[in-house]
Amino acid sequence: MMELELNNITKKFNKVIAVDDVSLQVKPSEMFFLLGPSGCGKTTTLRIIAGLERPNRGTIKIKGKDVTMVPSHKRNLAIVFQRWALFPHKTVYDNIAFGLKMRKMPKEKIKSKVENILGTVGLFGFEDRYPRQLSGGQQQRIALARALVINPTILLLDEPLSNLDLNMRRKMRIELVNLHSQLNITTIFVTHDQTEALSMADRIALMDKGKIMEISTPYEIYESPKTEFTAKFIGERNFIPGKVSLTNKSKVIVESDKGLHLQIPISARAPLSKNDKVNVFIGPEKVEISKKKSANQENVFSGEIQNVMYLGSIKKYQIILECGEVIICDMQTISDSDILNCCPGEKVIVTLDPQSCVCIPKKAKKEGAY
Ligand SMILES: Nc1ncnc2c1ncn2[C@@H]1O[C@H](COP(=O)(O)OP(=O)(O)O)[C@@H](O)[C@H]1O
Ligand SMILES: [Mg+2]
């Protein structure tokens, strides 16, 4: 049985459609992400799940039971917001104990639960501190402890790491993944940060303008995006606009607006016809560049390095092909390629491996389907 089901949820605020016919299913113990740009309806969706907003249309089921009309405090969910909203005048102990006191749990039981959960988030011994005496990361863990201590059916997290600096954010991502595999609690995590979603999710629902564009695993959503929106939002891909100039049983040829001819194996998912307008996407890590002619026969072009950026673990090359198309290529700095010594102005051979090219119709025929 599914842990959570949203069926055709729609929420309007006056004329704004914040959530537009959203349906999704979350499995028990899953780490499920709602990902999308600011304003796409993630928080509203989460608040609807929590019972803090009433949808105009649609139903919500938790463990198979319809809770659409069940008030928030009877859904047994816990939510952690972007601003952690700890009570500033309460100690860590009282912050965490708050929900248990509301539930009228006996004192001794509260004490052991609070101590237990403080151990889980690695802050045993911090009971008497006030929020202002804690670092951002510690406050975040207290907010998490306060949510977890009530044993919620589902943990809802709304951008819980975005108030932290980058290093702390990276550390907390790993801690949260570890905590999740230890507690196995079904978690819905809202973020606008694709790296966060890719690195932590079991599955990702990608949203745009209130709609779900695609639901997939991180691998699927990165390697085989199904919509133009996905391909542009996830990763930093090269995209080459053009149109289909030939199709046969095994491949299509796309002629780019600048005159590049690209061979692409037919993908069963996106049937294409001649003259269809498309975008061809290829990740910068999949572009091959070399000084010598490559063994590959297809999609091999000459170009010239325009600039090189050193980013520590990779070097990023901007290359202009003879037809004028500009391609970005990432190369691992530990590779033994002769390219690593190349400077702007040098000629190179660029290969856009057909298997790595993703070809998506400009107005995807199945936009929004998944
Ligand atoms: N209480 C509200 N009243 C009016 N409009 C709202 C309200 N909450 C959200 N919205 C609007 O709904 C849309 C989705 O908002 P939100 O769910 O907060 O997006 P996200 O969390 O993805 O940034 C936005 O256009 C936002 O301005
Ligand atoms: Mg939000």
Q: Considering the chain, tell me which residue range(s) the CATH 2.40.50.140 domain(s) occupy.
A: 236-361
The sheet carrying 4-13 orders its strands as 16-26, 4-13, 57-62, 65-66
Going by CA atoms, what residue is nearest to atom 8 of ligand 1? 44
DSSP assignment, residue 23? E
Query: How far, in Å, CA of 8 to CA of 66, rounded?
Result: 13
The listed range with the strongest mean pLDDT (26-40, 127-141, 268-282) is 26-40
- The CATH number, out of the four listed (3.30.70.1350, 1.10.10.10, 2.60.40.1120, 2.40.50.140), of the domain defined by the range 236-361: 2.40.50.140
Identify the burial level of 12 via C-beta atoms within 10 angstroms of its C-beta, where 0-12 means exposed, 13-18 middle and 19 or more buried.
Answer: middle
Query: What do you get for the CA distance between the two ends of the chain, in Å?
Result: 21
Query: How far, in Å, CA of 208 to CA of 212, rounded?
Result: 6
Mean pLDDT of 114-119: 92
Q: Is 15 in the pocket of ligand 1 (CB under 6 A)?
A: no
Residue 164 pLDDT = 84
Residue 268 pLDDT = 58
Residue 163 pLDDT = 83
Ion ligand 2 neighbours (CB, 5 A) are: 43
Mean pLDDT of 155-159: 96
Where helices occur in the chain by DSSP H, the ranges are 42-50, 92-102, 107-120, 136-148, 166-183, 194-200, 218-223, 228-233
Percent of the chain residues past pLDDT 90, beyond the cut: 77
- What is the tens place of the pLDDT at every residue in 181-190? 999 999 999 9
Q: Considering the chain, tell me which residue range(s) the CATH 3.40.50.300 domain(s) occupy.
A: 4-227
On the question of pLDDT at 269 being above 70, the answer is no
Which one of 13, 14, 156 would you pick to mutate in the ligand 1 pocket, going by the greatest count of ligand atoms within 8 A of its CB?
Answer: 13
> Where is pLDDT greater, at 59 or 295?
59
Percent of the chain residues past pLDDT 70, beyond the cut: 96
0.95 cut: is pTM over it? no
Confidence of residue 370 (pLDDT cuts 50, 70, 90): very low
Average pLDDT, the chain: 92
Query: How far, in Å, CA of 92 to CA of 118, rounded?
Result: 9
Please give, one letter per residue, the 3-state secondary structure of 135-187.
Answer: CHHHHHHHHHHHHHCCCCCEEEEECCCCCCCHHHHHHHHHHHHHHHHHHCCEE
Residue 330: phi and psi, rounded to 5, are: -100, 135
CA distances to 94, 134, 151, 244, 306 from 116, rounded to whole Å, are 14, 19, 12, 61, 57
What class has domain 4-227? Answer: alpha beta
Going by CA atoms, what residue is nearest to atom 2 of ligand 1? 13
Residue 115 pLDDT = 93
Q: How far is ligand 1, taken at its centre, from the CA of residue 39, in Å?
A: 6
Bridge partners of 279, per DSSP, are 241, 360
Q: Is 42 in the pocket of ligand 1 (CB under 6 A)?
A: yes
CA distances to 85, 309, 326, 351 from 342, rounded to whole Å, are 52, 12, 17, 17
Q: How far is ligand 1, taken at its centre, from the CA of residue 24, in Å?
A: 19
On the question of pLDDT at 221 being above 60, the answer is yes
Confidence of residue 369 (pLDDT cuts 50, 70, 90): very low
Residue 296 pLDDT = 67
| Of the candidate ranges 15-24, 235-244, 258-267, the one whose mean pLDDT is the lowest | 258-267
Mean pLDDT of 249-276: 87
Q: How far is ligand 1, taken at its centre, from the CA of residue 193, in Å?
A: 18
- What is the tens place of the pLDDT at every residue in 309-341? 999 999 999 999 999 999 999 999 988 888 888
Mean pLDDT of 230-247: 94
Mean pLDDT of 272-277: 91
Q: Which helix (H) or strand (E) holds 212?
A: strand 211-216
On the question of pLDDT at 365 being above 70, the answer is no
